[in-house]
Structure 1
Amino acid sequence: MNPSYFSTVGMVLAPTLLADFGIQVTGWSISSFLQTEKFYDLAGSTSFILCTFLSLYKPWDANSIWAADDKTVTVLRAVHPRQLIASGTTVAWAAYLGSFLFSRALKHGDKRFDNVKRFPGRFLIYWLVQGIWVALTALPVYMTNSIPRSVHPDLGLQDYIGFALWVSGFAFEVVANYQKQKWRKEVGRDYKRSFISTGLWSLSRHPNYFGECLLWFGSYLFCSSAFSAALASPAPIMLHWMSRLAVFSPIFVTFLITRVSGIPLLERENDRRLKDVVAYWKYKKATSMFVPTFSRRSTE
């Protein structure tokens, strides 16, 4: 690529996103042949981890990243603390969620794919959508990793607030998932006639999803503090449309979860499964669907 025609960020995003969709196509090929959905979420988390690594270390650019001298590998370009934290949090989240969903898929499968995994063309659409999800969700991370260390401003208040939001969201997601797993084990076969309404689930009907959306808002806030400096640089580091696109990351995640594939599917499933359970409808009426609130639940 000729640097005079591409911004620094654009030159990093291109191979990073190419790797993302390469993983999806490879995962689809194997899963379609085996007619299984069990590797779907694992491929998603792998894409997040690999794309984060590529955007940070850029292994294709040997002159600016790595050099081998005898048997010693030396990092020639140091990275900014903002990049390390943004990357580390993304990898931690992807490793956690990927292992959690993969383990669940091995035990229970995934009903979303029951009617499509035997049809390669339709199955491919799900994998390509996952590629878009990986690309847009962590786009601010890939972009901040693409900005040279020398351009990054020092960590400031915006970074600390963003990191605090990420930690809060991640804790919410992990604790909510743990509480639900524990509840599932306790109720056993009564699961189909029961629902969880304790712990974080007493504050929200979907606290795990709230946590995930919150952490990505925090990640965007943390990463975006470097965008203004990149746009102000005389070198072609970042284009204006890229910084505007990055803000869609947390918006996209929230829209996907609250309007498309997360909460709507679970709400419909719970309404069908628990249609005759009076306590469930009381819980649903008294408890916030998404944002945690202290409800005034009827004790009658």
Structure 2
Amino acid sequence: MGNLKNIAVAFLVSLPSIFFYLSFLHHHEKPQQQQTATSQLWSWCYHHPLLLANLLFFANVDVLFWLVGILQSNNWLIDLYWTVIPVMLVHYYATHPMAKADAVRSMVAIVLTWVWSIRLTHNYFRREKWEWGAREDWRFNEMRKEYGKHWWWISFFAVYLSQQVFLIGICLPMYAIHSSDTPWGTWDIIAAIACITGIIMAYFADTQLHDFVNRNATLKELGAPLVPNLDKGLWRYSRHPNYFAEQLWWWGLFLFAWNVGQGWMCIGPLVNSLCLAYVTVLVERRMLKQEYRSEAYTQYQKTTSVWIPWFKRDIPGTKQKSI
């Protein structure tokens, strides 16, 4: 019953933004009539596509998702919608009446965003054992414990408003792509290759991690010793190949914006990379707190690159226990 309730919540929460935007498009297609308060609103929506995206995000995600999170004492929705919002944004920018774009670049960006989203959504549900809202991100859970009774209002800023900065920022290239009809060029080819490489690498990294976690879960059920560290496949060359691949996707998307003269949009992936660097520190501290893997992970840190896949460093007299 709880799973069905969360499925319903997940599908219903985005409807206010969708209906509002469809109403705007419907009005825009009709002949202009006398100026009313409503028509002035539609006129504002027409002339300010980026501001409208931010306002819809604030009202529908920051406020509504926050209220749902308070009612459920669980902020799971934002994790699921992290994989969905970029798809909604790329279609919003592509269909907005002021949009103009090179047809090939627009099509490639939309298709790649869908492929990225499907892969990440699949990984999310696979990790959650195909349950909706069973748990929230462990970082949110730790903050909930840290802030106690104040978490209900702090979560608005820490979980939701911050996500607006990250998501709108890293999706800015989607706006650039649909604000310029600059012909498809060499940088677009490089951008597409980077995005595809990031998606493929992320799939294999997450699959290898998923298999490792499941294998340890089986060992735990059997009462056998757990394997302390994943050191095979992409994880042999990087401690966080999934993070590297995700950044490769976003920086590849930025190259599309670079090609249409919007280099300043690097601020989006840059902020996201800095945030992920901090998350990397938190994850590694968490790994070292677990007694059964602390020693092995310490050695892993000494021999293996943090993000960018690279050959291992040899340290005489050390051996890693791996799987």
Relative to the length of structure 1, the TM-score reads 0.76
Task: Report whether the alignment pairs 1:123 with 2:155.
Answer: yes
User: Equivalent pairs: percent with the same residue?
Assistant: 24
CA separation of 1:104 and 1:191: change in aligned 2, threshold 3 A: farther
Kept after mapping to 2: 8 A contact 1:17/1:51: no
1:91 aligns with 2:122: no
Q: Deviation per CA, 1:229-259, whole angstroms, max 9, x where unpaired?
A: xxxxxxxxxxxxxx3531212212211111x
How far does residue 276 in structure 1 lie from its aligned partner after superposition? 6.3
**Matched residue, 1:74:** none
Aligned length: 259
Contact 2:240–2:307 (8 Å) recurs in 1 = yes
* Correspondence for 1:233: none
Query: Which deviations, in whole Å up to 9, do the C-alpha atoms of 1:113-169 show, x marking residues without a partner?
Result: 22439732111111111111110011111221233xxx322x221111111111111
Structure 1 residue runs of 5 or longer lacking an equivalent are 66-76, 228-242
Matching residue within 137, 149, 156 for 1:110:
137
Q: Which of the numbers 247, 255, 277 marks the counterpart of 2:266?
A: 247
**Which stretch shifts more, 84-93 or 180-189?**
84-93
More helix by share: 2
- Whether the 8 Å CA contact 1:203–1:294 is kept in 2: the answer is yes
The residue type paired with residue 204 of structure 1 is: S
RMSD in angstroms over aligned alpha carbons?
2.8
Alpha-carbon distance in 2 for matches of 1:78, 1:216? 20
1:204 matched to 2:238? yes
The C-alpha deviation readout for 1:78-122, integer Å capped at 9, x for no partner, is: 861101211222232233324433553545542222243973211
Bigger shift: 202-211 or 80-89? Answer: 80-89
**Aligned equivalent of 2:10:** none
| SS, match of residue 195 in structure 1 | coil
C-alpha separation between the residues in 2 aligned to 1:29 and 1:276? 38
- Offset at residue 211 of structure 1 (A): 0.5
Query: Where does the alignment leave 5 or more consecutive residues of structure 2 unmatched?
Result: 1-38
TM-superposed CA distance for 1:277, in Å, is: 4.3
- Distance, in Å, in 2 between the alignment partners of 1:131 and 1:53 is 18
SS where residue 288 of structure 1 aligns? Answer: coil
Alpha-carbon distance change, 191 to 140 in structure 1, aligned in 2, over 3 angstroms: farther
Does the 8 Å CA contact 1:137/1:216 hold for their aligned counterparts?
yes
Is the contact made by 1:137 and 1:250 (CA closer than 8 Å) also made in structure 2?
Answer: yes
Taking a change above 3 Å as real, the CA distance of residues 44 and 23 of structure 1, as seen in their structure-2 partners, is farther
What's the counterpart of residue 304 of structure 2? 287
Could you say which residue in structure 2 is the equivalent of 1:141?
A: 174
